[in-house]
A and B are shown apart, each in its own frame.
Chain A
Amino acid sequence: EVQLVESGGGLVQPGGSLRLSCGVSGFTLSEHYVDWVRQAPGKGLEWVGRSRNRAKGYSTDFAASVKDRFTFSRDDSKSSLYLEMNSLKTEDTAVYYCARAYRLNGAHFFDFWGQGTLVTVSS
């Protein structure tokens, strides 16, 4: 059974850092793309970034709103992807989801999602 589980959320001050974890099971992390999507309180879904698979050199893309502040790291032996968030702003407050971006015949879609972890940036 495919599962993704996020952890690491919490309260952090503006300008601070936080590392979120996405632990996966039921599939091989190195063979798939995994994205992060966030949702601010009462707002819609916002894409944060993508970590591609080994075949694509683990390349990454980030939304303009987080580029140069957020990065990915990973430990395939632990089936875990990490979202490293620096220089956090109050507008980064959101529930953060990791989701598998499955690719089929050129199409991609988020077929499995984690339950989300809440990040609150406040003084």
Chain B
Amino acid sequence: QSVLTQPPSISAAPGQKVTISCSGSSSNIGYDSVSWYQQFPGTAPKLLIYDNDKRPSGIPDRFSGSKSGTSATLDITGLQTGDEADYYCEVWDSSLSGVLFGGGTKLTVL
């Protein structure tokens, strides 16, 4: 069981919005900035959000991130079938002196 808690799965219809949560503690999310990654089966993860709410070049503004206290969220609006993937939050933990990943959330676009 991961120290960073994400819902294992989430589903929504095309065009709708989903929110993926990532819950941690004062030594990780409360301490450092959060990143989010998207991973399709058989491929390497891809950076979606860094520094809590910033998008790398090329990432659509349908993807947005936020952080409050010891929790972070990834919002995806205007869902597309191509968004079906696994999503992971990531942050440094000061107590463990290591990087933590959330357990991952599998997004299904119905």
- Structural contact, A47 and B47, CB atoms closer than 8 A: no
Chain B: interface size category: 20 to 34
- Structural contact, B44 and A47, CB atoms closer than 8 A: no
- At the interface with chain B, which of A7-15, A73-81, A107-115? A107-115
Chain A neighbourhood of B23, CB < 8 A: none
Q: Bound state CA distance, A46 and B100, in angstroms?
A: 7
- Does A35 have its Cβ within 8 Å of any Cβ on chain B? yes
Summarize A's interface: helix, strand, loop or mixed: strand
1/0 per residue, CB under 8 A from A, across B31-54: the answer is 011010101000011110011100
Chain A neighbourhood of B37, CB < 8 A: 45, 110
- Does A23 have its Cβ within 8 Å of any Cβ on chain B? no
1/0 per residue, CB under 8 A from B, across A83-123: the answer is 00000000000000101000011111111011110000000
- Does A64 have its Cβ within 8 Å of any Cβ on chain B? yes
Q: Bound state CA distance, A115 and B86, in angstroms?
A: 17
